[in-house]
Structure 1
Amino acid sequence: MIRWGLVATVKAPAREVLAFAAWHLDLGAHRLYIHLDAPDAELLAGLKAHPKIRATLTGPGYWAKQGGRRPEKHQVRQTVNATRVLARRPEVDWLAHIDVDEFLLPDAPVAETLATLPDAVLCARLRPVEALAPAAGIAPPDWALKAVTLDRATRRAQTERLFPAYARGLDGGFLSHVAGKLFVRTSLVGAEFRIHNVLRDGEQNPGHTELRAIALCHMHATDADRWLAHYRFRHARGSYRPDLKPARPAEDGGMTLHQMLAAIEAEAGEAGLRAFFDTVCTARPALLSALEAEGLLRRATLDLDAARARHFPG
């Protein structure tokens, strides 16, 4: 039987970390390698108590063993941690590097899907769907999700139809990545994780395929207040940071998400940002109908509270 696992670097409330772990344990993960990016002794103990979880506190002593000081950028910390696990030949056949707000949504058991991949496939891409903030009678654990079209020209046209006021700075209406994440065979010796890719001997994503039977549900912006609470960090150093390229070239009228959000805030302040969130990230009836017409509406049930209670009672 194929064994699979996940590696993640997390800095989130214990409730969210345990929900992340529990959901994937329910899906059949053989190992979860969880690195705590901030001290939390109680959470560390709770994770370590589970036989399928390998939890690590990444304090000063940890980083000294990795050969230096703690990297300033969280993206670098994530890839160092993920690569370390991959290099150890983890106790799984396939390993994916994802974030604490990302959840696998498989059409069939994950192990069965991975078992169907030919030997020549060395990495398999999970494409994202973004969860929409509940509205219009939709309430957790039921979620409406927006998907993304892979063809760039089609995606651009859909963005203009769905979000005309913000199309210059959006890619498919997503606030976060459209690239997805990777499952990698742990037999790929010498491979190094990046956030969305894997490298080996200078080659990016050797033996790559699309893993269409498993979506990656990204709970990136599921509440306006929480989104605003994370906004400053994301705008400065995270998924809206200034060095990311625009989906549409500047000479063709495009702008980065960083630029667009800065312009919205400069013109209309928090009210403008909230209006943007409502238009792009909320499960409004009009948006749901428009997404369905484009073939981009997905629905899923993620009962994270129930999963957490099963694996971490009390």
Structure 2
Amino acid sequence: MAGGVALAVPGPVQTDPDKLRWGIVSTVKAPLEQVARFAAFYLDMGAHRVHLHLDLPDPALAERLSHPRVRVHQCNDAYWAGKPEKLRESHQLRQAFNATRIYRISTLDWLAHIDVDEFVLAPGPIKPLLAAADPSATHIAMAPVEMLDTAGDPHHFKRTGPKAALRQIYPTYGEHVAGGFISTQSPKNIARTGLDGVRLGIHALRHHGKVVNTGTHVPGLEIGHAHAPDWETFHRHIMYRLDKGSYRNRKGRFNPLGGLIKTLLEDGGIPALRHFHTEMSVASPERLDLLDAHDMLVTATLDLDAKVARHFGDIEGK
């Protein structure tokens, strides 16, 4: 990557899957049930540590999700005391600060910065994959796959695709939506720990402001993003995403996807927005067949409720 920086991995690296330890860090603002599903998924995957930063402090949630491998951090005034006020200005800055703080004190071998609506999809047990990674690689970049609106398990996800395929799969909007994704196409990273001067951002590992480009990829290791798993979720978050989230204009740069969504709302209102979600996200049989024909379909059984029951018992109010 132009302007990037290469970092040397401090050795030795852990290559024994039985000894390797990995974990995740996340900043969350979600209902108990969603946070429980998220944490249980990674506990079941074998994470040695799950760090949850509660952007909206909630002692009751922390108590309910008490677990030997879970660490809950209340992001209250005491947590932010003495830290630069700028760090609290946006959820993106809070996320990066929280993840970097944990990265710098972590004794794990690998740490991933993951959002509460993201699930790592792996072709097999993750510890052997991490143990076998290129020892000179500072991180593993996981390409996103976008969750479709699916009625329960198995869940279907879509990959990005070329324009010719997009026009066929999404006849109304495929020409106008880059990659066919209504969320980010940027990767998420699992980073080796122990790198000095590193910032564990949302989509990149940075060293003194420069993107670290000494990462690698592991075939089949992807990040499943539940950006719009159903119409209600998509609709509920749309205004926030347009104003402060993934659809906003950034530093004077126009966001084409956000612009398209604003135009749909202005010209056709909620019915137009719902038509957009239906075409781009609903897992109709015809769309699944087309995605599969273009090698753009990923199917995975998440079994989230069973994992919650296994690690946290029955969640009240579900």
Q: TM-score, normalised by structure 1?
A: 0.89
SS in 2 for 1:211: coil
**Whole-Å separation in 2 of the counterparts to 1:267 and 1:236:** 19
Task: Name the residue aligned to 2:246.
Answer: 239
Which ranges of structure 1 fall in alignment gaps of 5 or more residues? 150-154
Identity %, equivalent residues: 37
Shift of 1:70: 5.5
Does the 8 Å contact 2:87/2:93 carry over to 1? no
Equivalent AA in structure 2 for residue 31 of structure 1: R
Q: Deviations over 1:21-48 (max 9, x none)?
A: 001100000011110000211111233x
Task: Name the residue aligned to 2:174.
Answer: 167
Distance 1:8 1:224, change over 3 A: same
Task: Name the residue aligned to 1:177.
Answer: 184
The answer to whether the aligner puts 1:141 opposite 2:159 as a matched pair is: no
Q: Deviations over 1:278-307 (max 9, x none)?
A: 100000122112111111011111111110
Equivalent AA in structure 1 for residue 169 of structure 2: L
The answer to whether the aligner puts 1:304 opposite 2:311 as a matched pair is: no
**Whole-Å separation in 1 of the counterparts to 2:297 and 2:252:** 26
Which one of the candidate residues 117, 121, 134 is aligned to 2:133? Answer: 117
Does the 8 Å contact 2:134/2:216 carry over to 1? no
Shift of 1:60: 1.1
**Whole-Å separation in 2 of the counterparts to 1:120 and 1:68:** 37
Which ranges of structure 2 fall in alignment gaps of 5 or more residues? 1-18
RMSD between aligned residues: 1.8
Task: Name the residue aligned to 1:29.
Answer: 47
**Whole-Å separation in 2 of the counterparts to 1:39 and 1:58:** 6
Which one of the candidate residues 67, 86, 93 is aligned to 2:109? Answer: 93
Shift of 1:244: 8.2
**Whole-Å separation in 1 of the counterparts to 2:209 and 2:246:** 25
SS in 2 for 1:148: coil
Does the 8 Å contact 1:122/1:208 carry over to 2? yes
Shift of 1:69: 6.1
Task: Name the residue aligned to 1:18.
Answer: 36
Which one of the candidate residues 126, 131, 147 is aligned to 2:142? Answer: 126
**Whole-Å separation in 1 of the counterparts to 2:210 and 2:127:** 27
Which one of the candidate residues 44, 53, 58 is aligned to 1:40? Answer: 58
SS in 1 for 2:190: strand
**Whole-Å separation in 1 of the counterparts to 2:178 and 2:252:** 11
SS in 2 for 1:286: helix
Equivalent AA in structure 1 for residue 142 of structure 2: L
Distance 1:236 1:192, change over 3 A: same
Segment of structure 1 superposing worse, 289-298 or 58-67 = 58-67
Q: Deviations over 1:169-210 (max 9, x none)?
A: 412211111112001110212110221001113431242111
**Whole-Å separation in 1 of the counterparts to 2:213 and 2:72:** 29
Which one of the candidate residues 135, 153, 158 is aligned to 2:165? Answer: 158
Task: Name the residue aligned to 2:70.
Answer: 53
**Whole-Å separation in 1 of the counterparts to 2:259 and 2:85:** 34
Task: Name the residue aligned to 1:71.
Answer: 88
Q: TM-score, normalised by structure 2?
A: 0.88
Which one of the candidate residues 210, 224, 232 is aligned to 1:217? Answer: 224
Does the 8 Å contact 1:95/1:186 carry over to 2? yes
Segment of structure 1 superposing worse, 237-246 or 93-102 = 237-246
Shift of 1:225: 1.7
Q: Deviations over 1:53-109 (max 9, x none)?
A: 111000111111434366121111000000011111x13100010100001111111
**Whole-Å separation in 2 of the counterparts to 1:110 and 1:228:** 34
Segment of structure 1 superposing worse, 170-179 or 304-313 = 170-179
**Whole-Å separation in 1 of the counterparts to 2:245 and 2:97:** 17
Does the 8 Å contact 2:158/2:291 carry over to 1? yes
Shift of 1:227: 1.1
**Whole-Å separation in 2 of the counterparts to 1:42 and 1:121:** 40
Task: Name the residue aligned to 2:9.
Answer: none
Task: Name the residue aligned to 1:152.
Answer: none
Distance 1:118 1:201, change over 3 A: same
